[in-house]
Structure 1
């Protein structure tokens, strides 16, 4: 009888311990997921708007804590443009300089034109931002992901609250490795998702 009672106690203890372990595992999983999950992009609005999911963001290029996404856009047609650099005294050069973007983006606020600066301008309301101070996160075989700080704002509209911009889920856009002639330009197709963030006031 005593042995039977002890067995029941052990069994109940094992069940309780399993429940505790399972509970801890769930909490740990949820906490881990929260540290890597991206917030939802705002709902699309207006002509040509479309929903774009925000990809996972590498820790090194995340916007400041508390930042709110104000728009997410995907490249529908874009190139990274490289100009040949020829050293003094040489007859051939290489595409070693920085690229200039030329892209059309489509997303939650309609269309955005991305061009040299780098600059982004809404085709709906003409609001425009330029950005710099890039922080990079490498992706194999493609141009890196980025976080940029918005430097200037022009006009009122869907971009006027942007403080940071992420370039995520990049593909293509890598500089050619071939030799080239002076002033030769190569346009290399690329893809990416751009996310605009409104950072909390300090």
Structure 2
């Protein structure tokens, strides 16, 4: 009886202790990504977000190609959500800007892209420029855009008749923020 009571007390204590622990988040893995968009060694994941929103395109004349037209990327407008679905920032442009809810923000320089499946914008690796303001974006060295869905230029024709027209398409992508170790 004494042993049974001791075991029951230990089990209750263990369950109570586990209930107050923060669950361990798995570390984001770059293993399945093309080498071009992998973050260099010496950086660690600082924040994982899911961007959900819109990308605007505009019908424009092709440069140096008289009489030809194309949809040109204008800019994004998306909410950045953490893995639990809470908004932690926003992504907008031009210029492409990632802004945390604490007001810190940064722009970045594109280093590489890699194709994703048809109908999805490419995967991307950018190098962070120095952040404006102190907060979550301070010290961000790289941002990866992965797990992209949608966001490609409209399928509707772009021609002289709709030159200057804008179209908005929906997209979603994971934005993984890195800081130097």
**What TM-score results when the alignment is normalised by the length of structure 2?**
0.72
Matched residue of 2:57: which SS?
A: strand
CA RMSD of aligned residues (A): 2.5
Q: How does 1:23-42 map to 2 (within 5 A)?
A: none
For 1:58 and 1:130, the matched residues in 2 are separated by 23
Q: CA deviation at 1:99?
A: 4.1
Q: Contact (CA 8 Å) 2:110, 2:124: kept in 1 or not?
A: no
Residue 179 (structure 2) pairs with residue 179 (structure 1): no
For 1:100 and 1:195, the matched residues in 2 are separated by 19
In terms of fraction of residues, the more strand-rich structure is 2
Q: CA deviation at 1:86?
A: 2.8
Q: Contact (CA 8 Å) 1:171, 1:191: kept in 2 or not?
A: yes
Alpha-carbon distance change, 98 to 52 in structure 1, aligned in 2, over 3 angstroms: farther
Matched residue of 1:154: which SS?
A: coil
Residue 73 of structure 1 corresponds to: 49
Q: CA deviation at 1:112?
A: 1.0
Q: Where do 4+ consecutive residues of structure 1 move more than 3 Å?
A: 51-57, 87-90
User: How many equivalent pairs are there?
Assistant: 148
**What TM-score results when the alignment is normalised by the length of structure 1?**
0.65
Q: Structure 2: 5+ residue runs without aligned partners?
A: 1-21
Residue 84 of structure 1 corresponds to: 59
Matched residue of 1:98: which SS?
A: strand
For 2:29 and 2:43, the matched residues in 1 are separated by 15
* Stretch of structure 1 that moved more, 179-188 or 153-162: 179-188
Structure (1 or 2) with the larger CA radius of gyration: 1
